[in-house]
Amino acid sequence: MEKQTEVRTQKGKSLIILGFVVIAILFLIYARTASLGLTPEAVLAIERLAGIFYVIIIMAFGVITFGLFRYHKQKALENNGGVLSIIAATTFNKKSRRIFLLTFIGYGIFFSLTSGMLVYQPEVVFSYHYGAIIPSAHLTACCGDPGYMPKITVYLTEHIGLQIVPINLVLQIIVSYLVGLNTTLAVSAFTFFKKEGGLSSVGATTGLFIACPTCVGAFSSIFVGSAGAIAFTLAITQLQTMFILITIPILLITPFIMAKKLRVRGGNCATETKHE
């Protein structure tokens, strides 16, 4: 039985790795293809590839989601006192899954609003200013920096639209997942010890600005005015990599820190959850 559980855990891990490898390869292939000479035939081929690009990304995240669920479930069932088992067991009950889902969706929407993925411009009429058909969707297959193409633009109403950029989409899903996991674990830790760790909130706040230097400018304009905000935004753009390097490690490390606290202070009681 123990061997069978270990095999299932490894399969879940393999699916997670496979999904991320596929996404990485897809980004590399598209960046290489889109950089080739633009002939009429090449443009048509790139446009077809752009459509396939998003289909494969959705499938890859489906594989990753299934792998995460399988890995999480098996680790929770193991409940062997290891850090990963504590994280899984503590966050796999019905209440924790509800908290995770609400956090994942809520943070994802918040990220979308501040990053420009979800656009609301009450002062702009899309059909008038951009000549857009309402509703409509457009796929921009070429050309731009690697990771920023192909881009999907959707006009939902005269003032609400979507601007989906591949790298932003991938980072949003990853960071929203990590924020959801951290929040769920922090709530469980608070329940047991009446105390929350600070790293989780720091990571969530920093994660908001990953691949989104313009949202910092939007907030700064309230305090420093338009001209200052533009200069500030340009400066923040140069620090984009730093935000990514700081945030994701924090969000990855924090669950381990909280799980160790649960193990040291709470013993096995912290992981006695009902798997519904």
Select the more confidently predicted residue: 143 or 241. Answer: 143
Instruction: Give the rounded percent of residues in the chain with a pLDDT score beyond 70.
Output: 68
For residue 135, is the peptide bond before it cis, meaning its omega torsion is within 30 degrees of 0? yes
Structural domain includes residue 248 = yes
Q: Output the furthest CA–CA distance in the chain (Å, rounded).
A: 66
In this structure, the answer to whether residues 174 and 250 fall within a common structural domain is yes
Domain count, the chain: 3
In this structure, the answer to whether residues 151 and 173 fall within a common structural domain is no
In this structure, the answer to whether residues 194 and 236 fall within a common structural domain is yes
Residues 38-60 have a mean pLDDT of: 82
In this structure, the answer to whether residues 14 and 139 fall within a common structural domain is no
Structural domain includes residue 113 = no
Least confident range from 31-35, 71-75, 151-155: namely: 31-35
3-state per-residue secondary structure call for the chain: CHHHHHHHHHHHHHHHHHHHHHHHHHHHHHHHHHCCCCCHHHHHHHHHHHHHHHHHHHHHHHHHHHHHHHHHHHHHHHCCCCHHHHHHHHHCCHHHHHHHHHHHHHHHHHHHHHHCCEEECCCCCHHHHCCCCCCEEEEECCCCCCCCCCEEEEECCCCEEEEECHHHHHHHHHHHHHHHHHHHHHHHHHHHHCCCCCHHHHHHHHHCCCCCHHHHHHHHHHHHHHHHHHHHHHHHHCCHHHHHHHHHHHHHHHHHHHHHHHHHHHHHHHHCCCCC
Q: Please say whether the beta carbons of 155 and 172 come within 8 A.
A: no
Structural domain includes residue 272 = no
In this structure, the answer to whether residues 171 and 245 fall within a common structural domain is yes
In this structure, the answer to whether residues 3 and 73 fall within a common structural domain is yes
- Domain residues for the domain of 19 are 1-81
In this structure, the answer to whether residues 139 and 14 fall within a common structural domain is no
In this structure, the answer to whether residues 186 and 256 fall within a common structural domain is yes
Residues 256-271 have a mean pLDDT of: 65
Structural domain includes residue 91 = no
In this structure, the answer to whether residues 61 and 172 fall within a common structural domain is no
In this structure, the answer to whether residues 192 and 158 fall within a common structural domain is no
Q: Report the pLDDT value the prediction gives residue 233, as an integer from 0 to 100.
A: 42
The model's pTM is 0.76
Over residues 9-25, the pLDDT tens digits come to 788 889 999 999 999 99
In this structure, the answer to whether residues 63 and 188 fall within a common structural domain is no
In this structure, the answer to whether residues 142 and 180 fall within a common structural domain is no
